[in-house]
Amino acid sequence: MYAKGMSTRDIEDHLRDIYGIDASASLISRITDKIMPEVAEWQSRPLAGVYPVVFFDGIRFKVKKDGKVINKCVYSVLGIDMAGKKDILGIWISETESAAFWATVFNELKNRGVKDILIACHDNLSGFANALETVFPKTENQLYIIHMIRNSTKYVSYKELKAVMADLKEVYGAVSEEAALYMLEEFKDKWGNKYPQIYRSWETNWANLSGFFKYPDEMRRLIYTTNAVEGFHRMLRKYTKTKTNYPTDDALRKSIYLSVQEISRKWYNPVKNWGIIFGQFTVFYGDRFTEADIA
- Of the given ranges (65-69, 130-134, 288-292), which has the lowest mean pLDDT? 288-292
The phi and psi torsions of 76 (rounded to 5 degrees) equal -100, 135
Task: Decide if pLDDT at 247 tops 80.
Answer: yes
Q: What does the pLDDT read at residue 5?
A: 62
Average pLDDT over residues 245-259: 87
Say what the pLDDT of residue 295 is. Answer: 60
Residue 140 lies in a domain: yes
| 74 and 161 part of one domain | no
Helix (H) or strand (E) holding 283: helix 274-285
Task: Indicate the pTM of the whole model.
Answer: 0.87
Total count of domains within the chain? 2
92 and 64 inside one domain: yes
Same domain, 14 and 83: yes
Q: Which residues contact 55 (CB under 8 A, 6 or more apart)?
A: 76, 77, 78, 79, 80, 121, 122, 226, 228, 229
Comparing 72 with 22, the larger pLDDT belongs to 72
Same domain, 263 and 189: no
Q: Do 178 and 206 fall into the same domain?
A: yes
One domain for residues 195 and 261:
no
Q: Are residues 66 and 132 in the same domain?
A: yes
Domain that holds residue 135: 8-144+226-294
Q: If you average pLDDT over residues 106-123, what whole number do you get?
A: 95
134 found inside a domain: yes
| Amino acid 4: pLDDT | 66
Supply the CATH number for residue 23's domain. 3.30.420.10
How much is the pLDDT for 139? Answer: 95
- CA dihedral over 122, 61, 106, 128, signed as positive or negative: positive
Cα dihedral angle (52, 57, 61, 64), rounded to 10 degrees? Answer: 90
Give the pLDDT confidence score for residue 291 in this predicted structure. Answer: 65
The answer to whether residues 46 and 60 belong to one domain is yes
My answer on whether 140 and 162 are in the same domain is no
Cα–Cα dist 284/208, whole Å? 18
Mean pLDDT in residue range 62-91: 93
Are 151 and 275 members of one domain? no
Residue 228 has pLDDT above 90, yes or no: no
